[in-house]
Amino acid sequence: MNRRVATGVAAVLLGIGAASGVLFLARAEPGPAYRLARVEQGPLVSAISATGTMSALVTVEVSSQLSGQIAELYADFNSRVTRGQLLARLNGDQLDARLAQARADLEAAGAGLNQQIAQLDKARADAANARASVANADAQLLRAELARRDADRDLARRQDLRGRGVVAPADLEKTETAARSAGAAVTAALAQKRQAEAALASAEATLEVGAAQVQVARATVAQREAALQLVQVDVNRSVIRSPIDGVVVNRSINTGQTVAASLQAPTLFTIAQDLRQMEVLANIDEADIGRVREGMPVSFTVNAFPGDRFTGRVSQVRLAPKEDLNVVTYIVVITVENPEMRLLPGMTANLRIIVDERPSVVKLPNAALRFRPPGVALAAEDGPAPTLGGPDGGRGARALEALGRRLADELRLGEQARRAVAAIVAEAGTRFAALDAEAGDPERKRAEAAAVRAAALDRIGALLSPAQRESFDRITDPRRADATRTVWVPGGRGVAGGQGGGAPVGVTVRLGISDGSYTEILGGALQPGQEVITGILPPDRDGRRGPRLGF
CB 483 within 8 A of CB 383: no
Sorted by sequence, the CB contacts under 8 Å of residue 488 that are 6+ apart come out as 368, 371, 372, 373, 504, 505, 506, 507, 532, 533
Q: Domain count of the chain?
A: 2
* 340 located within any domain: no
* 5 located within any domain: no
* Domain end call among 456, 476, 496: 476
Structural domain span for residue 169: 93-237
Global model pTM greater than 0.85:
no
Measured in degrees and rounded to the nearest 5, phi and psi for residue 192 equal -65, -35
Beta bridge partners of 535: 35
301: region left, alpha or beta (phi > 0 left; psi from -120 to 50 alpha): beta
CATH number at residue 142: 1.10.287
pLDDT digit string, tens, across residues 145-169: 898 888 888 878 878 877 777 777 7
- Cα dist. 203→125, 130, 133 in Å? 9, 7, 12
* 459 located within any domain: yes
Question: Closest by alpha carbon to 404, among 387, 381, 426?
Answer: 426
- Cα dist. 438→276, 352, 396, 452, 456 in Å? 63, 47, 15, 15, 20
Q: How many CA atoms lie within 13 A of 54 on its CB side?
A: 27
Predicted pLDDT of residue 496: 37
Question: Closest by alpha carbon to 316, among 293, 283, 298, 339?
Answer: 293
Predicted pLDDT of residue 548: 46
* Domain end call among 443, 476, 509: 476
Predicted pLDDT of residue 545: 52
Q: List the Cα angle 514/38/534 in 5-degree steps.
A: 75
Residue 49's Cα: distance from chain center in Å? 23
* 286 located within any domain: no
* 11 located within any domain: no
Question: Closest by alpha carbon to 537, among 495, 507, 509?
Answer: 495
* 278 located within any domain: no
542, with CB counted inside 10 A (0-12, 13-18, 19+), is: exposed
Strand, coil or helix: 73: strand
Question: Closest by alpha carbon to 80, among 342, 269, 279, 347?
Answer: 269
* 481 located within any domain: no
CB 29 within 8 A of CB 53: no
User: In this structure, how many other beta carbons lie within 10 angstroms of the beta carbon of residue 221?
Assistant: 20
Question: Closest by alpha carbon to 549, among 21, 11, 1, 13?
Answer: 21
* Domain end call among 476, 495, 518: 476
Residue numbers in the chain where pLDDT is lower than 50: 1-2, 5-6, 9-12, 16-28, 378-393, 479-481, 493-501, 547-551
Q: How far apart are CA 217 and CA 110, in angstroms?
A: 8
Question: Closest by alpha carbon to 268, among 246, 244, 252, 247?
Answer: 252
* 73 located within any domain: no
